[in-house]
């Protein structure tokens, strides 16, 4: 009989509910009266950070009143392309994040979300590859440069993670991106 970790399931569902609530609030406050062209879509590469050694990410900005903005982010990363049998069978890491920003061009960045990992391991009974999917909570605090109307996005963040919802890991990342 397999053990079900109800605490992990409850924590994960609570995190997802909080992410959806913040996303809805950000969409409701999406207004801008300025004449400046504002690019709300960002593609960025992050070295280190939530996606492990690096990730490619899409981020959608939501403008809030005054100096505040928010974003929803989804990314993709991999640690290994081939499994232990040397077949193509990549481990997948998918960061999902809600971010808040304060500032005009130079912004303070706070965020949180879930990292979904889908990795390969050996089945203990027959030795064949099987996939494990896990959720890991992450946070972000840092600095971002993104001038209104500008396309260049630069950032640096401290991105700690609660791995398997029990082990705290320190991590950091550097972001370079393009707004469109």
Q: For residue 107, what is the domain's CATH number?
A: 2.40.160.20
Q: Which helix (H) or strand (E) holds 25?
A: helix 6-28
pLDDT at 148: 83
pLDDT at 124: 87
Whether 1 is in a domain gets the answer no
> Domain total for the chain?
1
Whether 141 is in a domain gets the answer yes
| Residue 1 pLDDT level (bands cut at 50, 70, 90) | very low
Taking Cα atoms as reference points, which of 48, 55, 76 lies closest to residue 171? 48
Q: Residue 13 burial (CB < 10 Å; 0-12/13-18/19+)?
A: exposed
| Residue 138 pLDDT level (bands cut at 50, 70, 90) | very high
pLDDT at 128: 87
Sign of the CA dihedral with 10 first, then 101, 71, and 168 last: negative
At a CB cut-off of 8 Å and minimum separation 6, what does 62 contact? Answer: 26, 27, 29, 30, 40, 69, 70, 71, 72
Whether 145 is in a domain gets the answer yes
Q: Which domain holds residue 90?
A: 6-32+41-179
* Three-state secondary-structure class, residue 35: coil
Q: 48-106 pLDDT, tens per residue? A: 999 988 999 999 999 878 899 999 999 999 988 888 888 888 999 999 999 999 999 99
pLDDT at 16: 64
């Amino acid at each position: 009989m397999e053990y079900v970790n109800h605490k992990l399931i409850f924590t994960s569902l609570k995190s997802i509910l909080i992410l959806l609530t913040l996303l809805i609030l950000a969409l409701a406050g999406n207004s801008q009266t300025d004449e400046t062209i504002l690019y709300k879509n960002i593609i960025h590469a992050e070295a280190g950070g939530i996606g492990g050694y690096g990730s490619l990410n899409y981020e959608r900005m939501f403008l809030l009143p005054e100096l505040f903005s928010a974003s929803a982010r989804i990314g993709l990363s991999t640690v290994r392309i081939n499994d232990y049998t040397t077949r193509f069978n990549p481990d997948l890491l998918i960061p999902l994040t809600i971010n808040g920003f304060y500032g005009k061009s130079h912004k303070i960045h706070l965020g949180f979300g879930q990292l979904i990992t889908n990795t390969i391991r050996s089945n203990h009974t027959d030795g064949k590859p099987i996939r494990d999917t896990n959720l890991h909570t992450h946070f972000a605090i840092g600095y971002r440069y993104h001038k209104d109307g500008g396309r260049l996005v630069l950032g640096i963040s401290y991105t700690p993670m609660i791995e398997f919802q029990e082990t705290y890991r320190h991590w950091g990342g550097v972001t370079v991106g393009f707004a469109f």
